Structure 1
Amino acid sequence: MKKNTVYLIIALVIVLLGIGLAKSKLNQAKKSQCQPTAPIVIEEEIVVRAPAAVKTAPAVTGQAAKQPEEKVIVEESILAMIPEKSKPGCQKDKGSKGIKLSGVEFLTGYLWNNIKDQKRIQSFPILVDFNFDLKPLIKKLNISLKQLVQFQVEPYISYISQPHSNMETGVSFLLKLGLLPQTSKIQPYIKGGIGLDYMTLHTREQGTQFNFTEQGGVGVHYFFKKDTALTLEGRYRHLSNAGTGDPNGGINTYAIFTGITKEF
């Protein structure tokens, strides 16, 4: 299979995941508009009047006439709870959940390898991973998984120290799969994906500074708190321009990252 075909297939998978994510966010927004509000409390006063007492003549002459009994007025207050009618077009929530942001990772580390005529290339990246839980989407396919299954959006910036001082930036789109139940304190995982990259460094391997990346890696989370973990990860990355310019020899690099993972 040609490399361009592989890029096309991977890009199609990323687009489908993006469409699913957008649809989920739209459903969540619609759901928020249909949240029930507090019932309206209306105080209604009902007044019940008793009939007036019958006036009677005094029984003994000379005695002071008795005053007629006063009317008795009984007043009662009734609180009527009148619930607000459902908003048009809103349906009851059936308990379904969509894809949502489930955590953030802050990573840094060291990337290295050798390139033609310029000896060693090395850089120091800073990465932020936004993790989206895919299990609600997978559950709709009647598949139940205990391991973490995440779609990651990973922007990064990197300082290139060798062979010359330069900068690199880009974004990666990754699929991350856990190897143990998500409740485990130690969570090993594998990941892989594609991305976009721009670097100011000129190399003999690449005729363009704008390139694409393919990468895969393994790592482990150690949760020292319920929602916070130390992360260690190793990664292999291939960088090339997918035939958009010559030369296109490609640059393969290795990386090791460490940092903090925070789950929501």
Structure 2
Amino acid sequence: MSLTLNDLMVILVEPSATQQKIVTRYLNNLGIHRITPVTSGREALDLMVGYAPDLVISTFYLPDMTGTDLVHRMRETDSIGDTAFMLISSETRFRYLDPIRQAGAIAILPKPFTQDSLRIALGSTLEYLDPQALNLGSYDPESLHVLLVDDSGFARKHLRKTLTDMGLEIFTEANNGKEAMELLESNFFDLIVTDYNMPEMDGEALVNHVRANSSQSSIPIIMVTSEERESRLAAIQQAGVSAICDKPFEAGNIRTLLQQLFSEN
């Protein structure tokens, strides 16, 4: 049977009693009742030692740490490293939110948020926890060789888990475009999934190199990025990327993109 919202066990990390009530009410309205509220990051981490939730929902500013600290400590702990994480916060500055995107957050919701936006984010959570298998027609997902390119180890781990859950099995990882370019010279890949902002060589330069100078110039390339500037996104598209997906990304979107790309090849 497929996982439903009623099945989810949630830890809610929110020091404000008022905000706790608002989020809890919205979750209850959507069918989620197994909710454990805590007021600090340390409480949440201690609770997770003996209780593995399906989802952690946290605000950004906590009395003892930030939401970034919390999700990073989760990702560094094997037993809870893949736990779904959602941020609900009034913080909007890129430099604060990007590390959370890179750590594989399911969603980042602004305060104030609506019940409908929470419902959509929870749908992404279900897809992450209980993904549908890929249907690539004549292509066998298990035999596809994927090159993951991202300078964030957290981001690569999140991408790899998501793709593995869909049925992909063969991965090679690179920290930046320069490493990826070197790997492309001696290996054959069926798909590249890359970040945009990276040291040494960014995603746009990598795409330009693949399309203009590589023997694998027609390989599908998906860019998963937190880049928000329209001018840069337009340049990425002109470089020949096959598809662009935002961070945080929805697993369902990645599956749909893959099925479209491989049905065209």
TM tier, shorter chain? under 0.3
TM-score of the aligned structures, taking structure 2 as reference length: 0.19
Larger Rg: 1
More strand by share: 1
TM-score, length of structure 1 as denominator length: 0.19
**Which structure shows the bigger proportion of residues in helix conformation?**
2
